[in-house]
Chain A
Amino acid sequence: MSHIEADVLETSARPAMPGRRRVLGALALGVVATACNTGDNESLSLQVPGSDGDTSSTATGPELVKVEFPSKKDGDAVDAGGTSTSSSSTTSSTAAPQQPATGGGGGGATGTPGPPTTAGSAATTASTATTVAPPTTAAPPTTAPTTPTTAAVTTAAPTTAAPTTAPPTTAAPTTAAPTTAAPTTAAPTTAAPTTAAPTTAAPTTAAPTTAPPTTFTPPPPVAADAVHVANRITFGITPAVQSQLAALGVVGYIEDQLAKTAPDPAVEARLGGFDLPGLNRRQVYDYLRNDNNDRDDLMKELTHLAVMRAVYSEHQLFEMMCQLWMDHFNINMHGDGALEHLHIDFQENVIRPNAMGTFRDLLVATANSTAMLAYLDNTSSNAGAPQGFNENYGRELLELHTLGIHADDSQVYNEADVRAASAAMTGWSMVTDRNANNYSDFLFRADYQFTGEISLLNGAWTKGATTGKATGDSLLQFLATHESTARYIALKICRRFVSDNPPASLIASTAQAYLANDTSITATLRHVLTSAEFAASTNQKMRRPIEGLAAALRALHADVPANPDSDAATSLRNQLAALDQLPWNWEQPDGYPDFAGHWLSTAGLLTRWNYGARLARGQVNGIGVNYGALKPPSDSGDALILALGVQFGVGNLPEAARSAIAAAAGTGANDGAANVSDRELGDITALILAHPLSQTR
């Protein structure tokens, strides 16, 4: 990507990102939305009724639950009054008041320092965003190289201008700020009434790089409905899961899944027919360069890996988390900078080993992965280049990976911070010699590194004395434990496991759990999965295509061959392609959406129905259905249909639905279950898979 295009991308993408969300929100309203009391266009509750309309639902009969989301106002109050705030305000009283100042503009004026501003209190420093000297100019306006008070990015040379000579003033930042901060702060200002608006939030939320602010006392665990738990933390309920839930209890089952923090060895052992998972970067490159292989082979293996693990792994929650992080740290296989041969390495060696460790380690692993660095252009980001360094990775590092843009469109960072983060990550590159044995391995390039002062979030993080790769390492540690990161990761996890628009109260408490446990993913999950909000959120999530497919295969006891070249694998891959969820094929770096509005469509639903029916009826070549294992003990055809509904997780089917299913399958209501044929079983289960509750989780 040329620098010119990068600039265009930046300017055109900024206002569009919130816009895209609005598009999706509007779409959701048009298709599936039911009103919530927040007045938020994005608020959307997916309501699915109990199967028989009986409000006294049992453990196997999901009931209609409408969650009343707390108002935004409440949520923001929680955010503002959260425990981190008090602590960080303490620190900010020492660090933040030293308001940044730099030479503004990129005019290349020599040696005119921006006058440092010393505001008297933390409160007043919040009034303006940081100012920044555009790093793309090599001009040397500087600030004091020896103090931590410099603004986001300044150029390297400790030049003639002595900061001490500059009189304290409040004027300079306010004049410079609008020109630099405008592009990003313009869009999110819809959140203006909240306390999390960018300009005010930055100083107050700037957390220290070290210890979490307060101790966090977890609330007592709430045991949710068993089917609900199975829906949420597995790829689909099975009799085996139901047995485990019964044996361990709901909380015990959750703990059991939380303890499974690595791949299921039994499933991994079945993957012998795959060529790629064990290969290193160089080997995958050579494999794809071989005339006999191409992108299709890569796609075959990636897709079938995802399917096999989702369907057969006993470590279901682990696999759910792997998919969550694959979306969170998405790399579009076809992206401008993406290198196809690095996806296997990224998935197998970066995401999966860290999926249930700490977010800190996961973040560091992704930042050290050349798959990510190449995709987001950091490998070629060179502070010494005439056009300056590349901001692609720095931007997504803040926006998508860590600090985030929150559900109310608020954010704690601005454009200057994007440039600062980008500057801090310069030098994180890779070996580009395709003939080298270590081609595409990580390589730190000191010659690419930005050598000036760097400061983020009004000085909450500064480069300080760090040099070389340690600068980036320091930034990552800071970001992983930042309060805004905590809230953003909490949002992503709650959106995955609770609802599209999770309650603000839960996001706030989850963020506390995250910080109190040193970014532990399992501890954060434990908090979410045993929360009252989780327990009250039944059936609010639309199954995404791979979840719907896996749920059908699991419910049917389907026998999917492990061979990625099999007809079965081809058919499943084609189905995922038709529903637009092939691995690593989401075009944007933000990953496949986790909103019902994106996935619920006329064509998509019909496609799911038809494919589920073909699977159930044994019509997909190479995928066998174990009808014997499928058939629950029952006294009659009608009782059989009733029992199958429960077994498939859709609850007690009402009489009208049972008789309609029986008619379509040709099953007499009083036929003994023993007389129900495999073909009838196929017809019955085909229709159960088209139940609305089969599309939700």
Chain B
Amino acid sequence: MPTNINRRKFLAVSGIGAAGVVTGLGTTLALAAPGTPNTGDVIVAVLLRGGCDGLSMAPPYGYQSYRNLRPTIAIPPPGQNNGALALNSATSPTAAFPTGIENVVGLHPAMQPIHETLWAQGRLAVLPATGMDPNESRTRSHFRAEEYLERGARSDGVGGGFLGRMINAGNFPGLLNGVNTSGRCNMLDGGSKSVLANDLDNFGLTGFRNRDQARTALASLNSGPDSVSAEGRLVLDVVDQLQSLDGNRRPGYPNTGLSRQMSEVATVIKANIGVQAATVELGGWDHHRDLGAPGDTNGRFHRRAAELADALRAFADDTNQLEEITVVVLTEFGRTINENGNRGTDHGAGATHMVMGGGIRGGVYGDDYPDVIQDNPQYGDLTIHTDYRKYLSEVVLNRGEVNALDTVFPTYTQNGFLGLTA
């Protein structure tokens, strides 16, 4: 599909939007402002599961301390063989560098596919030294850290995932608001009108024989005014919509797991059925050994980063460079600043997150960045200077246009924005 239908206008006039839902479900589905289409971006969250090494993703090549700590895996400065990709005004004229680390921190060479597009266009924000406030959690357990990250809070008294709460607070019109293309993601947990659709071709009445006639019977059985029947009719509506979609990988996407997920997200977004949030994931970042030397395109980190960059590039190319879409790239923690005896790194603290979109002002953001790469006995390997909920709050409010940050991040105390929403 060469151009993106303007989703907002479509929703405003289409029967598939708010009006369709309300009339289809009778009286039991409460929508705050039926008929008011959301004008906010679709938020697409990409979870890098396993603890992506932030100092490889955004190498601080300008620091001797970094090169000393990582004798075989440090990325050289830009311009040198296999050097980092420069993040500065020369490569992205409109970019912002509020922490003044232009020409200090770069991007891993495998990220070239989006460096030459989204970064150059001024649509990519890089956030080094990011994570959950260490006063809330300093866990280095994958399980715990992922749980907290996806929930948006350490406290298990907070229900669901942060995107699920965003969906509920947004009270969006449309048939389907959230799509999770990975069975393991929990960021959309608890969200109404959110589905796990990790295989569009098989999202349907797969248990039944004679599916068309079964659908008729199911509609008859679920025709009452009760809440279960109402949900049943919603199931049938969603099945109808998703079954009509082509689950095949769209043109231009590489044949990788992440690209397949991104392709399905693009398909569902383009179907104009009300999707406001989607989650995908790419695992395999737990590089305790053989992370990969600079220039080794078969290195474990390089291959993962390339799969990420290729998928993001294809998705951006498929969506008019992320028009009305904001993509956030998260990981549960960064890794130790020093290279271990196996040429890998272990579980650490500050990580590198990224935000990109048509409404994002590119740059390198954060509340601060260390002057030297050194272990901090109080906060651990690479101090977390920016709470990830700071940029997410800005994205949710200014791009997602959901004004309910207390609900989305109930344990996080707001303290201003970074200014990355253009």
Chain A residues in the interface with B (C-beta under 8 A): 5, 8-9, 12-13, 15-17, 19-20, 23-24, 26-27, 29-34, 46-49, 334, 336, 542, 587-588, 596, 600-603, 605-606, 609-614, 617, 619, 653, 656-657, 660-661, 663-666, 679, 682-683, 686-687, 690-692, 695-696
Between-chain CB contacts (< 8 Å), 29 pairs: A8-B135, A9-B154, A15-B410, A23-B165, A24-B190, A30-B30, A30-B192, A32-B230, A46-B228, A47-B225, A542-B228, A587-B156, A600-B231, A605-B228, A609-B207, A614-B207, A657-B217, A660-B219, A660-B220, A660-B221, A679-B209, A687-B221, A690-B221, A690-B222, A691-B221, A692-B224, A692-B226, A692-B232, A696-B228
Q: Which residue of chain B has its CB nearest to the CB of A620?
A: B207
Verify A695–B228 contact, CB threshold 8 A: yes
Verify B221–A657 contact, CB threshold 8 A: yes
* A19-B157, A33-B30, A692-B221 known; A48+B228 contact, CB < 8 A: yes
Docked CA distance A665–B208 (Å):
10
Partner of B205, one of A12, A609, A656: A609
Q: Verify if B153 is at the interface (C-beta below 8 Å from A).
A: yes
Docked CA distance A619–B31 (Å):
39
For B206-245 the 0/1 string (1 means CB < 8 A from A) is 1111100110111111101111111110110011000000
Docked CA distance A34–B25 (Å):
13
Closest 6 CB pairs of A and B: A613-B207, A610-B207, A32-B227, A16-B157, A660-B217, A692-B228
* A334-B143, A587-B147 known; A16+B158 contact, CB < 8 A: yes
Verify A34–B28 contact, CB threshold 8 A: yes
For B179-221 the 0/1 string (1 means CB < 8 A from A) is 0000000000010111110000001011111100110111111
Q: Which residue of chain B has its CB nearest to the CB of A682?
A: B209
Verify B160–A664 contact, CB threshold 8 A: no
A602-B176, A657-B217 provided; 13 other pairs, C-beta below 8 A? A8-B135, A8-B136, A8-B154, A13-B157, A16-B158, A46-B226, A47-B225, A49-B226, A587-B147, A609-B208, A610-B206, A617-B209, A692-B229
Verify B235–A606 contact, CB threshold 8 A: yes
Verify B210–A683 contact, CB threshold 8 A: yes
Verify B159–A24 contact, CB threshold 8 A: yes
Q: Which residue of chain A has its CB nearest to the CB of B139?
A: A5
Verify B190–A23 contact, CB threshold 8 A: yes
Verify B168–A30 contact, CB threshold 8 A: yes
Q: Which residue of chain B has its CB nearest to the CB of A688?
A: B221
Docked CA distance A682–B210 (Å):
12
Query: How far does the Cβ of A550 sit from chain B's closest Cβ, in whole Å?
Result: 18
Docked CA distance A16–B192 (Å):
20
* A46-B227, A588-B156 known; A30+B29 contact, CB < 8 A: yes
Docked CA distance A647–B342 (Å):
64
Verify A663–B217 contact, CB threshold 8 A: yes
Verify B137–A5 contact, CB threshold 8 A: yes
Chain B residues in the interface with A (C-beta under 8 A): 27-31, 135-138, 143-144, 147, 153-160, 165, 168, 171, 176, 190, 192-196, 203, 205-210, 213-214, 216-222, 224-232, 234-235, 238-239, 407, 410-411
Query: How far does the Cβ of B63 sit from chain A's closest Cβ, in whole Å?
Result: 30
Docked CA distance A295–B218 (Å):
39
A-chain residues with CB within 8 Å of residue B195 when the two chains form the complex = 602-603, 606
Partner of B227, one of A23, A596, A665: A596
Verify B207–A13 contact, CB threshold 8 A: no
B-chain residues with CB within 8 Å of residue A17 when the two chains form the complex = 157
Docked CA distance A617–B205 (Å):
14
Verify A47–B227 contact, CB threshold 8 A: yes
Verify A664–B213 contact, CB threshold 8 A: yes
Verify A32–B228 contact, CB threshold 8 A: yes
B-chain residues with CB within 8 Å of residue A600 when the two chains form the complex = 227-228, 231
Docked CA distance A617–B209 (Å):
9
A-chain residues with CB within 8 Å of residue B203 when the two chains form the complex = 606
Verify A619–B207 contact, CB threshold 8 A: yes
Docked CA distance A27–B29 (Å):
10
Verify A609–B235 contact, CB threshold 8 A: yes
* A49-B224, A610-B208 known; A30+B157 contact, CB < 8 A: no
Docked CA distance A23–B235 (Å):
23
Verify A23–B143 contact, CB threshold 8 A: no
Verify A687–B217 contact, CB threshold 8 A: yes
A-chain residues with CB within 8 Å of residue B226 when the two chains form the complex = 46-49, 692
Query: How far does the Cβ of A696 sit from chain B's closest Cβ, in whole Å?
Result: 6
Docked CA distance A673–B39 (Å):
57
Q: Which residue of chain A has its CB nearest to the CB of B143?
A: A334
A-chain residues with CB within 8 Å of residue B171 when the two chains form the complex = 30
Partner of B192, one of A31, A588, A606, A682: A31
Query: How far does the Cβ of A609 sit from chain B's closest Cβ, in whole Å?
Result: 7
Verify A23–B221 contact, CB threshold 8 A: no
Docked CA distance A421–B153 (Å):
27
Query: How far does the Cβ of B416 sit from chain A's closest Cβ, in whole Å?
Result: 20
B-chain residues with CB within 8 Å of residue A31 when the two chains form the complex = 29, 192, 227, 231
Query: How far does the Cβ of A663 sit from chain B's closest Cβ, in whole Å?
Result: 5
Docked CA distance A449–B127 (Å):
48
A-chain residues with CB within 8 Å of residue B228 when the two chains form the complex = 32, 46, 48, 542, 600, 605, 692, 695-696
A-chain residues with CB within 8 Å of residue B220 when the two chains form the complex = 656-657, 660-661
Docked CA distance A24–B216 (Å):
32
Verify A602–B231 contact, CB threshold 8 A: yes
B-chain residues with CB within 8 Å of residue A661 when the two chains form the complex = 217, 220-221
B-chain residues with CB within 8 Å of residue A27 when the two chains form the complex = 168, 190, 192
Verify A29–B193 contact, CB threshold 8 A: no
Docked CA distance A194–B216 (Å):
50
A-chain residues with CB within 8 Å of residue B221 when the two chains form the complex = 653, 657, 660-661, 687, 690-692
Docked CA distance A183–B115 (Å):
48
B-chain residues with CB within 8 Å of residue A602 when the two chains form the complex = 176, 193-195, 231, 234-235, 238
Docked CA distance A663–B221 (Å):
13
Verify A613–B28 contact, CB threshold 8 A: no
* A5-B137, A32-B231, A48-B226 known; A23+B206 contact, CB < 8 A: no
* A5-B138, A33-B227, A603-B195 known; A612+B218 contact, CB < 8 A: no
Query: How far does the Cβ of A646 sit from chain B's closest Cβ, in whole Å?
Result: 15
Verify A23–B153 contact, CB threshold 8 A: no
Partner of B216, one of A16, A588, A663: A663
Instruction: Count chain A CB atoms within 10 A of each CB in B144, B208, B238 and give the residue with the most.
Output: B208
A-chain residues with CB within 8 Å of residue B136 when the two chains form the complex = 8, 12
B-chain residues with CB within 8 Å of residue A614 when the two chains form the complex = 207
Query: How far does the Cβ of B208 sit from chain A's closest Cβ, in whole Å?
Result: 5
Q: Which residue of chain A has its CB nearest to the CB of B219?
A: A660
B-chain residues with CB within 8 Å of residue A663 when the two chains form the complex = 213, 216-217
Docked CA distance A79–B159 (Å):
30
A-chain residues with CB within 8 Å of residue B147 when the two chains form the complex = 587
Q: Which residue of chain B has its CB nearest to the CB of A654?
A: B220
Query: How far does the Cβ of B133 sit from chain A's closest Cβ, in whole Å?
Result: 9
Verify B30–A20 contact, CB threshold 8 A: no
A-chain residues with CB within 8 Å of residue B217 when the two chains form the complex = 657, 660-661, 663-664, 687
Query: How far does the Cβ of B182 sit from chain A's closest Cβ, in whole Å?
Result: 13
Docked CA distance A137–B210 (Å):
71
Q: Which residue of chain A has its CB nearest to the CB of B193?
A: A602
Docked CA distance A657–B31 (Å):
30
Partner of A13, one of B156, B159, B160, B219: B156
Verify B208–A686 contact, CB threshold 8 A: yes
Docked CA distance A542–B214 (Å):
23
B-chain residues with CB within 8 Å of residue A603 when the two chains form the complex = 194-196
Query: How far does the Cβ of A664 sit from chain B's closest Cβ, in whole Å?
Result: 4
Q: Which residue of chain A has its CB nearest to the CB of B32?
A: A30
A-chain residues with CB within 8 Å of residue B138 when the two chains form the complex = 5
Docked CA distance A20–B160 (Å):
9
Query: How far does the Cβ of B231 sit from chain A's closest Cβ, in whole Å?
Result: 5
Query: How far does the Cβ of A476 sit from chain B's closest Cβ, in whole Å?
Result: 25
B-chain residues with CB within 8 Å of residue A32 when the two chains form the complex = 28, 227-228, 230-231
Verify A610–B224 contact, CB threshold 8 A: no
Query: How far does the Cβ of A383 sit from chain B's closest Cβ, in whole Å?
Result: 26
Partner of A19, one of B207, B234, B410: B410
A-chain residues with CB within 8 Å of residue B143 when the two chains form the complex = 334
